[in-house]
Amino acid sequence: MDDSRTALITGGSAGLGRAVALALAERGWQVIITGRRAAPLERVAALAPGITACQGDVTDAGHRRRLGSEIAARGRLDLLLNNASALGPSPMPTLAQYPEAELAAVFTTDVLAPLALISALLDPVSRAGGAIVNVSSDAAVEAYEGWGGYGAAKAALDHATAVLALEQPELSVYAFDPGDMRTAMHQAAFPGEDISDRPEPDTVVPALLRLLDTRPASGRYRAADLLSGAAAS
């Protein structure tokens, strides 16, 4: 049983965050989910007794302090899953036409907020011997037309994750690339297109659980590779 373990999941009201929250709660974890919209968070929290909703925006320092207080009251943090992300405008503009304010907002949500949350919660994660997982994207390592803002932000997060792993060798620090998923964000990236061929977020959860269970060396991992490794073993 993992009933003493605690996780904080940003962007926990939908998509991958919701799926991971439910999977960890089923394992007996205490899970705190956060996001900007209260109603979807509460709907997820109502699905399992171990899930607590904490509404707010991770780009807000006051909200991050509230999350810190919530974790302090529990005494430990075994997993910080930085899942909340901003795609940017939809349809996605080319870099040459990218509005500066929109680009800054993407970097604030996708890079600065996760790093600030890591800084605020490093002590409870360290005490628990926990893991920090920053959700990445293949757009961080591949160049796709129109994905310059989001991809550059995720590339920056990947690099920051690698540096953090060197600076905190006692922790498990991962960049996790889930691959394409059937989510509202992915739909916004392809407005008007049918994305029903993309897998549901639930199908990615076993890969993340394998990462947490096996605790390989800190680094960047793709869900597809973790799932194929599980199948081979």
Query: Residue 184: helix, strand or coil by DSSP?
Result: helix
Going from the C-alpha of 81 to that of each of 18, 20, 91, 196, the distances in angstroms are 11, 9, 28, 26
- Close Cβ partners of 26 (under 8 Å, ≥ 6 residues apart): 48
Is 150 one of the annotated active-site residues of the chain? yes
Of 98, 144, 150, 174, which residue is the catalytic one?
Answer: 150
Please tell me the distance from the alpha carbon of residue 14 to that of residue 184, in angstroms, as a whole number.
9
Q: How many C-alpha atoms does 183 have within 13 Å on its Cβ side?
A: 25
Q: Which is nearest to 7 in space by CA: 23, 27, 31?
A: 31
135, containing H or E segment: strand 131-135
Please identify every residue annotated as catalytic.
150
